[in-house]
Amino acid sequence: MTGKNIWRLCKLYGRMIGYPMLKPHDLRHGVAMEVLEQRHDLEQVRALLGHARIDTTQIYTMIRPAQLKQAVSFYEAPAKQMLESVGSNRKSMFEEHFDVPQTQCVIP
- Banded model confidence at residue 40, pLDDT cuts 50, 70, 90: confident
Q: Is residue 48 part of a domain?
A: yes
Q: Is residue 8 part of a domain?
A: yes
* Domain around 81: 3-97
Look at the chain and report how many structural domains it folds into: 1
d(CA 6, CA 27): 11
Backbone angles phi, psi at 107, to 5 degrees: -110, 125
Q: Is residue 31 part of a domain?
A: yes
| Cβ(45)–Cβ(60) below 8 Å | yes
Q: Is residue 107 part of a domain?
A: no
The pLDDT tens digits for 44-75 are 999 999 999 998 888 777 766 776 677 777 77
Q: Is residue 108 part of a domain?
A: no
Tell me if the pTM is above 0.85.
no
Q: Is residue 104 part of a domain?
A: no
Position with higher pLDDT, 95 vs 37: 37
pLDDT at 23: 92
The pLDDT tens digits for 76-108 are 777 777 777 765 455 555 555 555 555 555 555
Q: Is residue 13 part of a domain?
A: yes
